[in-house]
Structure 1
Amino acid sequence: MAVVLFNQEENKRTEVKIHNGHTILRAAKQGRVALKHKCGGKASCTTCKVEIKDQANISPPLPIEEMRLGEENIKNGFRLSCQTKVYGKVEVKMPEDPFKARIRELLKQQEK
């Protein structure tokens, strides 16, 4: 069994157990973690991008990921959750919702 620990906004953490070789996106669906995805796991939209600092227990980046995300993003730990297979314990940082980020930014500006 593999384990995916999803680090979400506002310090919310969800741990999901999956079979070895399943993708991070599948773990999110199984654990009812709200990980955005539009293309159904075909690596064509990049909305399921996540950050993984320790990549020891995951599959290496596929050429499609390198094409979609770019070499620099891959080097910085970003991966497509629909293409990344898990083979142990993995900690995943989920992106902040863009609408919430914009609202937070506007509220900071109002405080000034």
Structure 2
Amino acid sequence: MPKITVIGYRTFEVEKGRKLVLALEDNGVNILHQCGGKAKCTTCRVEIMSGEVCAETTIEKNAFSKKGIFEDNLRLSCQVRVDGDVEIIPIMTVENSGLEPGPRPEE
């Protein structure tokens, strides 16, 4: 099973192919997902420090473009499927934003 290391939190294992946003939430990382995992708000973005995740989707590219975000190592955790071990930094959490997480994304 792939291991996710969340810098500043901890490391945990998840099923291969699991949505990153759900893996984070289920393991105590209060990642935001204001739009419920629809790739519209970009609040679930994470910085990929190293590791294996699926390729960036067109939906994801469009969401970042609309928000003026053009950093190569940022991804939307609602669009990422974990393929192997990965090390990330969550950008927006309940704790650092003061916002509610939003509706739980679908599997």
For 2:103, the equivalent position in structure 1 comes to none
For 1:68, the equivalent position in structure 2 comes to 63
For 2:5, the equivalent position in structure 1 comes to 5
The 5 Å alignment of 1:20-99 reads 20-54=16-50, 56-70=51-65, 72-73=70-71, 75=72, 77-95=73-91, 97-98=96-97
Separation in 1 of the partners of 2:38 and 2:80? 12
For 1:106, the equivalent position in structure 2 comes to none
Seen in structure 2, the aligned counterparts of structure 1 residues 29 and 98 have a Cα distance that, compared at 3 Å, is closer
* TM-score calculated relative to the size of structure 1: 0.73
| Higher-strand-fraction structure | 2
Which residue identity lines up with residue 83 of structure 2 in the other structure? Y
Local SS of the residue matching 2:41: coil
Give the RMSD, CA atoms, in angstroms.
1.7
Structure with more relative contact order (C-alpha pairs < 8 Å, separation 6 or more): 2
| Higher-helix-fraction structure | 1
Separation in 2 of the partners of 1:95 and 1:25? 12
Count residues in correspondence.
92
Shift of 1:30: 1.4
Separation in 2 of the partners of 1:53 and 1:3? 13
Identical-residue share of aligned pairs (%): 30
Local SS of the residue matching 1:53: strand
